[in-house]
Amino acid sequence: MKKRIYFTIVCILFLACSCSNRKSAVTEGNSAYYWRTSFVLSPAEREFIKEYGISRLYIRYFDVVMQEGDAMPNATLKFKDTLPSSVQPVPTVFIMNECMQKRDNTLANKIFKRILQISESNNINNVKEIQIDCDWTKRTEGNFLKFMEQLHALTQEKGIMLSTTVRCYQLNWQVPKADRGVVMMYNTGDFRNIKDEKPILNIDSVGGYLKYLKKYDLPLTCAYPVFKWDLLFHKENFREVLYTEDRSFLFQSDTVVRREPSLADILKAKERLQSIRKDINKEIVIFDLSDYNIKRFKDEEYKKIFAH
């Protein structure tokens, strides 16, 4: 009888600690991703941060790509400006899925050291969290999960939280070792299909994955898209994403279509996700911060996007 009571008490204490840790990893407020190769904030971007109380920036530090058979850093961010004192930086690293095709037990340490070095050399001293972004698949699942386990051990030693992005198709797969996750609610369709009019955000197209959202065993928030794509098609065959306004090189048989989520698309996604998981919109994240993107919606529309 005494053993049974002791066991019950231990279980209660374990669950209490687990719930406490889970609660401490839930973030709140307004946030944005910064996804460029130079860190420079325009006056409009600084005003946007101030106006909408952006308290957290997920800043892409560098990518990790395969070069000659090894995972190597690429497109490292150059800091040419200072971060507002009111903003908490979250160094973010995008890892190509190809880098997870083979086991590399040194990769986690290399990435972690590089993040710390970049932060230190640019006087970013208040890093409390880092994030890993990877489109890992079932084929690379085992290696990615091991990598995250190794990286989590390193971040814990330094008292830094580790977060991971979560694609909708990953919701039914094993949960990576992390303190929290950000569901990337974009790229829900096929932008290579000219008939897909909502490839960036169509909440109805990912309904089959959302049934796994409620039981996903990480504290979660969600990132919503405010960007646009100009897509080039040649006779309805996808060619490329256009990043300039120059159209002088186009042929008569070329077609350029613009794809961008509407306010209604974003609000519908917010409502659907919150109906499944009530705390998912405690932190509202937009992807991503840029002069063009912040001008896409009016003030009253952004207030609706950032409404909690």
Stretch 3-28: mean pLDDT? 50
Helix, strand or coil, per DSSP, at residue 242: strand
Stretch 149-173: mean pLDDT? 98
Residue 68 has pLDDT above 60, yes or no: yes
Residue 50 has pLDDT above 70, yes or no: yes
pLDDT band at 21 (very low <50, low <70, confident <90, very high): very low
Cβ neighbours for 66, distance < 8 A, ≥ 6 positions apart:
72, 96, 98, 99
More confident residue, 186 or 5: 186
Residue 63 has pLDDT above 70, yes or no: yes
Do the Cβ atoms of 130 and 92 come closer than 8 Å? Answer: yes
The domain segmentation of the chain, as residue ranges, is: 27-226+261-305, 228-259
Cβ neighbours for 304, distance < 8 A, ≥ 6 positions apart:
263, 267
119-145, pLDDT tens digit by residue? Answer: 999 999 889 999 999 999 999 999 999
Do the Cβ atoms of 133 and 94 come closer than 8 Å? Answer: yes
pTM: 0.91
Sign of CA dihedral 206, 209, 215, 217: negative
Do the Cβ atoms of 62 and 39 come closer than 8 Å? Answer: no
Residue 201 has pLDDT above 70, yes or no: yes
Residue 162 has pLDDT above 60, yes or no: yes
36-49, pLDDT tens digit by residue? Answer: 999 999 999 999 99
69-104, pLDDT tens digit by residue? Answer: 999 999 999 999 999 999 999 999 999 999 999 999
CATH superfamily of 27-226+261-305: Glycosidases (3.20.20.80)
The backbone torsions φ and ψ at residue 155, rounded to the nearest 5 degrees and listed phi first, read -70, -35
| Residue type, position 203, single letter | I
Predicted pLDDT of residue 24: 53
Nearest Cα to 180, choosing from 23, 32, 61, 16? 23
Compute the distance between CA of residue 288 and CA of residue 214 in angstroms, rounded to an integer: 26
